[in-house]
Amino acid sequence: MRMIETTATITKDGQLTLQVPPDLAPGQHRVVVVIDEQSVPTPQRSPLQFSAYPVGLVSPALTFRREDLYGDS
């Protein structure tokens, strides 16, 4: 006998979905389900913050202005 503690998802139509360890043999197993009346809170993650990385110009001669790329016409 083995005890597995995991989190399951219950859909609006009453379907129960849970993940079991991959080393369990496929087939029918006798299981006991105990449901805690309080649902598991969804953890709130803070948004990712990236710092600015100044790269500057590759070369001062390469400005990539429209006039430099396409000419005057």
- Of residues 46 and 61, which shows the higher confidence score? 46
Q: What is the mean pLDDT of the chain?
A: 82
| H helix or E strand, kind and range, residue 8 | strand 8-10
pLDDT digits (tens, 9 = 90+) for 13-24: 989 888 888 888
SS3 (DSSP) at 57: coil
With cut-offs at 50, 70 and 90, classify the pLDDT of residue 73: low
- Phi, psi (deg, nearest 5) at residue 70: -110, -5
Asked whether residue 3 carries a pLDDT value surpassing 80, the answer given is yes
| Whether the Cβ atoms of residue 16 and residue 9 lie closer than 8 Å to each other | yes
